[in-house]
Amino acid sequence: MNAKKYAAEAIGTFWLTFGGCGAAIFAAGFPQLGIGFAGVALAFGLTVLTMAYAIGHISGCHLNPAVTVGLAAGGRFPNAQVIPYIVAQVVGAIVAAAVLYWIASGAPGFDAAKGFAANGYGEHSPGKYGLGSAFVAEVVLTAAFLFVIMGATHGRAPAGFAPIAIGLALTLIHLICIPITNTSVNPARSTGPALFAGTWALQQLWLFWLAPLIGGVIGGVVYRWLSPDEPAGTVEGR
């Protein structure tokens, strides 16, 4: 049973990375008809919304190490499953990035080092925001994301609407944060593209693990404090 959960997480994270980063790589700046930041933000939100309905009943549809850690901190997920979930998520993201690289390399003049939807700060931030700004943005937005997830999947929340709230929250997060860091709030999503973008992305990758994980714990703990009457159980199978 656990193997199916891990496979679902890998597939779901593949879809998030392929869909969201693929929109950024192929469509964001397409001449004259590019979808822009708003289109990329919507693409990321749609990947979570669609996968939540597809695999939420199998694995809980975390798709993100920060979500898994945050849910564990919030008492919604067993600690013993945290590492296997994270491994599955990172594998899914790396495979997605490899497929994106394969497709993108078919275009003349392609150079993954120019970005490849990787996250960055300083010279590699779309808006040239520094390390401090990037760190605070990633912590705050990941905490807010966990807060929404915890609330939307609460036992007393309206049934069946959690994927919509979570997908829209991720869209909003990207609308805010793309100019700052290209938006991570997800260490797995950051790791896949960084492996192909090269040296600069790997050197800055630590931030996009540390800040989201801190934010995830904060969001999970704060919501657990705010709503201590959570019914027994985890987000798995919801």
Decide: pTM greater than 0.85: yes
pLDDT for residue 230: 60
Over residues 173-183, the mean pLDDT reads 97
The domain limits of the chain are: 2-226
The lowest-confidence range among 18-32, 48-62, 78-92, 131-145 is: 18-32
Distance spanning both ends of the chain, measured CA to CA: 16
Q: State the pLDDT at residue 33.
A: 76
pLDDT at 155 over 90: no
Check if the beta carbon of residue 68 is closer than 8 Å to that of residue 92. Answer: no
Q: Is 138 exposed, middle or buried (0-12, 13-18, 19+ CB in 10 A)?
A: buried
What is the CA 11 to chain-centroid distance, rounded?
14
CA-based nearest residue to 224, from 66, 85, 71:
71
| pLDDT tier at 236, thresholds 50, 70, 90 | very low
CATH of 2-226, one of 3.30.830.10, 3.90.1150.10, 1.10.3720.10, 1.20.1080.10: 1.20.1080.10
Side chain identity at residue 64, one-letter code: N
Residue 56 to residue 43: CA distance in whole angstroms: 19
Assess contact for 209 and 127: CB atoms under 8 A. Answer: no
Output b/e per residue, 170-182; b: 16+ Cβ within 10 A: bbbbbbebbebbb
